[in-house]
Each structure stands twice: as structure tokens, then as C-alpha cells.
A and B are shown apart, each in its own frame.
Chain A
Amino acid sequence: NAGVTQTPKFRILKIGQSMTLQCTQDMNHNYMYWYRQDPGMGLKLIYYSVGAGITDKGEVPNGYNVSRSTTEDFPLRLELAAPSQTSVYFCASSKGNIEQFFGPGTRLTVL
């Protein structure tokens, strides 16, 4: 039981490049989330999903896209990377209002 896994762990992008952050959970959780954590700040919700095929925006969705074709996977797509997207990205999953299980994070730098 691996929990929530994220790849890659680190990535450096040039301005204008695109990439997909991968997130997979093996706990059969319906709910999945993407957060970003800027230095010295709390986590802010980018997108979330309540089940396969259903996604919705969070607090800071601009510049990102998501899809949820399976229960296990919830990839986050960055189009046209900008320096403001430099952050640590966390994926999480839950069964509802119990604890959210977080992945180890992806540290992204956009130069």
C-alpha cells in the first residue's frame, strides 16, 4: 500500500514550457486534491475531484488544468509555465471529511 505517490519529485521548467504532474493513490479514495505551497505560506487549493469524471476549481486554478479519468489518477497540467508557478505542489486524497492523505510533493521551479 503505497498511499499517494507523486512524480516527479523535482523539476525545473523554462517560461512557456508545459508539463504534467502525476498523482496516483491506491486507497480507493473518491476525493482527490491538488494544493500548492508557496514559501512561508499555507497550502492553497488548485483543483479537486469528488470522483472519476468530476473536477472543480479551487482557490487558485488559473494556469492549471486537471482530469480524472480513473479513481486512482489525478494529473495536474501546467500550460505555459510562468515564474509565479514556482512552488511545491501537493496531491492529496481522502474518503471524505476524515483525514486527507498527502503525497510527498513536487518542487517546481520556473525560470
Chain B
Amino acid sequence: AQKVTQAQTEISVVEKEDVTLDCVYETRDTTYYLFWYKQPPSGELVFLIRRNSFDEQNEISGRYSWNFQKSTSSFNFTITASQVVDSAVYFCALSRGFGNEKLTFGTGTRLTIIP
């Protein structure tokens, strides 16, 4: 069975601070995909990134970066120089390989950026 754990329920940081959101996953598959989604206060779900299990390269997109480590089954998300607009609930999710695309979500981390 697959499982995604986001142990941080809520995080608050002051604007411009860096913040890391943790994601630990469990799967028996050798091929799988990891995702991060953002849910702002308006409620929609916004895709941020997808990573496959064969690509452990870290990724940076502007102020966002992701650290994928298979050795620790983690896929952590860092926001650098946080802004108020980053306030949202962030979900980490896991799916199996091609042909089985169902997402297993973590319970989310609510991030509040204090101006």
C-alpha cells in the first residue's frame, strides 16, 4: 500500500524567511511519481511539480525548490524568501507507474506567511 506523510500540520513564518515543507512517502513500487500541489484560500488545487522515481535531480523554479531523496523516501519542498501569496495548504502526493495514475495524497501542510 502507498502512503504519504506530511508531519507538519501547520507552519507560520515571517515574510522573507525560508521554509521547508516535509514529505515522506512509502511505496513498494520501483516506478512511481511524486507531486506537489498548492491549495490557496480560494480552494482550487494548483499543480506545482511532478517527479518520477528515476530522476533524483533537485529542481529549482524561481523561489521554489524540491529535494528528492530516495534513500530517505523524502520529497521536500523549500520556499525561499517567502511571500504572503505563498500562504496556502500544500499537498504532497504519490502515484504508481504508468497505467495506475491514482494519486495518494498526504494530509497537507498549512503554511501561513506573516507580513
A22 interface contact, C-beta 8 A: no
Find the B residue at minimum CB distance from A95.
B101
B55 interface contact, C-beta 8 A: no
9-residue interface stretch from B67-75, B76-84, B102-110: B102-110
With contacts A43-B91, A94-B101, A97-B101 taken as known, whether A102 is within 8 angstroms of B106 at the C-beta atoms is no
Within residues 52 to 111 of chain A, which ones have a CB less than 8 A from any CB in chain B?
Answer: 58, 88, 90, 92, 94, 96-102, 104-105
Within residues 56 to 96 of chain B, which ones have a CB less than 8 A from any CB in chain A?
Answer: 91, 93, 95
**In the complex, which of the residues A41, A43, A96, A104 contacts B101, with contact meaning CB atoms closer than 8 Å?**
A96
Alpha-carbon distance between A44 and B37 when the two chains are bound, in angstroms:
14
Contacts of B93 in A (CB 8 A): 42
Find the A residue at minimum CB distance from B103.
A100
Alpha-carbon distance between A96 and B103 when the two chains are bound, in angstroms:
11
B98 interface contact, C-beta 8 A: yes
- Residue of B37, B52, B101, B108 most packed against chain A (CB within 10 A): B101
Residues of A within 8 A of B (CB): 31, 33, 35, 40-45, 48, 58, 88, 90, 92, 94, 96-102, 104-105
Q: Apart from A43-B105, A45-B102, A105-B43, what are 8 other A-B pairs with CB-CB below 8 Å?
A: A33-B102, A42-B108, A45-B103, A88-B43, A97-B95, A97-B101, A102-B45, A104-B44
Cross-chain pairs A/B with CB under 8 angstroms, 27 sampled? A31-B101, A33-B102, A33-B103, A40-B107, A40-B108, A42-B4, A42-B6, A42-B91, A42-B93, A42-B108, A45-B103, A45-B104, A58-B102, A88-B43, A94-B101, A96-B101, A97-B50, A97-B52, A97-B95, A97-B97, A98-B50, A99-B47, A100-B101, A102-B37, A102-B44, A104-B44, A105-B43
